[in-house]
């Protein structure tokens, strides 16, 4: 296969509609702010990936960062490990985290997509495996069991084998009532996960985790601040519900720190923060050595590839932020998602992109940044 050489990086911002708004203890996500990345090459192959910005406020600075990194990549061969090492050297003093880490991770995903497309093979095959069905759970926000009962049943009818709901919007008594009612709706045969989105102190998290033990939860996710590894370890040691964390780890060293601290029973790296596919491979090795189950966070399309080759593969999170602008969204079949190809199987629906694009990342209604 001819070596791919980068000619340009293109980034566009869109705010795409969501099938279901996501309500959390720290706020609500009503639409999907995305940055679409295209890595173009001399050979005519374009690698694609997208970033989830969480808030439209981050779109403009993400576009600016992508524009600054593009010239660094022109003329470079598409060798993901080499390019990531170059970024690490270039930004040693600043560090790869935050918005910069997101862009670097997204570019890494686009590099792998380009390599797969050039080879005419799915990325999972480039990684030594093959696409295979990975069980998925439907990821919800805060729920009202009375109002959402029919929709929860619909999730089961679609084939989902697990349901995750968010807690922490009220008291322990409200949490218990919600979990009790959701468990009665989905039944004992469905995996039920809960996510506190970092909203509790270690003491309160321990209190609530103990109270939730009778419901047979699959896991309790990010009960305390993501960076509070000691706090996670304390909750884990004092309650029987498995602790899940990892979506806010920045690159593989954060995963190693969490494992060393005994902060979790399960891990769920986020491809946009862990260093893309290259970063995931390092964490995958750590997880295998620790016999640690690995699930994904967001990014269904790329996650289906890396989970397919992860020895301790657990669950794929189905929170669909990208399908509104994709030509071929991933499909759920028998409760599972199978990776698509070639590459990551990502192609833009350009008509949809045009409908939802926001020029320069500036969203109408948001205040313009002040000038110095």
297 is catalytic: yes
Query: What distance in Å separates the CA atoms of residue 125 and residue 123, rounded to the nearest whole number?
Result: 5
What radius of gyration do the chain's Cα atoms show?
20
Alpha helix (H) residue ranges in 35-97: 59-73, 80-90
166 is catalytic: yes
Catalytic residue of the set 164, 232, 273, 297: 297
DSSP 85-100: HHHHHHTTTT-S-HHH
Catalytic residue of the set 166, 232, 273, 318: 166
CA dihedral 173, 177, 182, 184 (to 10 degrees): 140
* Phi and psi torsions of 230, nearest 5°: -65, -40
* Phi and psi torsions of 300, nearest 5°: -55, -45
CB 271 within 8 A of CB 264: no
Paired tokens of 331:
């499909």
What residues have CB less than 8 Å from 350, skipping those under 6 apart? none
Pairing state between β 46-52 and 134-142? unpaired
Helix (H, G, I), strand (E, B) or coil at 76: coil
CA angle, 234 as apex, 229 and 240 as ends, to 5°?
Answer: 120
The catalytic site residues sit at: 166, 297
């Amino acid at each position: 296969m001819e070596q791919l050489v980068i000619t340009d990086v293109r980034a566009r911002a869109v705010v795409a509609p969501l099938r279901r708004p996501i309500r959390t203890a720290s706020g609500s996500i009503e639409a999907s702010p995305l940055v679409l990345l295209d890595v173009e090459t001399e050979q005519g192959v374009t690698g694609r990936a997208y970033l989830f910005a969480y808030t439209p406020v981050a779109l403009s600075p993400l576009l600016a960062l992508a524009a600054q990194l593009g010239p660094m990549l022109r003329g470079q061969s598409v060798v993901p490990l080499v390019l990531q090492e170059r970024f690490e050297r270039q930004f040693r003093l600043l560090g790869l985290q935050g918005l910069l880490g997101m862009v670097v991770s997204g570019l890494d995903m686009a590099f792998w997509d380009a390599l797969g497309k050039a080879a005419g093979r799915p990325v999972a095959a480039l990684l030594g495996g093959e696409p295979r069905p990975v069980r998925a759970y439907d990821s919800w926000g805060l729920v009202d069991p009375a109002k959402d009962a029919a929709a929860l049943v619909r999730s089961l009818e679609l084939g989902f084998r697990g349901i995750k709901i968010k807690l922490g919007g009220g008291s322990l008594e409200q949490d218990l009532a919600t979990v009790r009612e959701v468990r009665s709706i989905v039944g004992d045969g469905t995996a039920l996960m809960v996510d506190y989105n970092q909203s509790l102190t270690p003491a309160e998290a321990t209190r609530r985790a103990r109270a939730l033990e009778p419901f047979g939860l699959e896991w309790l996710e990010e009960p305390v601040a993501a960076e509070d590894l000691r706090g996670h370890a304390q909750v884990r040691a004092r309650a029987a519900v498995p602790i899940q964390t990892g979506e806010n780890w920045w690159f593989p060293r954060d995963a190693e720190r969490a494992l060393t601290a005994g902060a979790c029973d399960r891990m769920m790296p986020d491809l946009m923060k862990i260093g893309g596919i290259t970063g995931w491979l390092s964490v995958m090795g750590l997880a295998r050595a620790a016999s640690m189950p690995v699930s994904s966070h967001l990014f269904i399309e790329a996650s289906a590839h890396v989970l397919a080759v992860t020895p301790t593969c657990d669950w794929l999170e189905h929170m669909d932020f990208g399908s509104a602008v994709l030509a071929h969204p991933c499909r759920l079949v028998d409760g599972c998602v199978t990776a698509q190809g070639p590459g990551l199987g990502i192609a833009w629906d350009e008509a949809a992109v045009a409908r939802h694009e926001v020029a320069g990342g500036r969203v109408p209604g948001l205040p313009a940044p002040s000038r110095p």
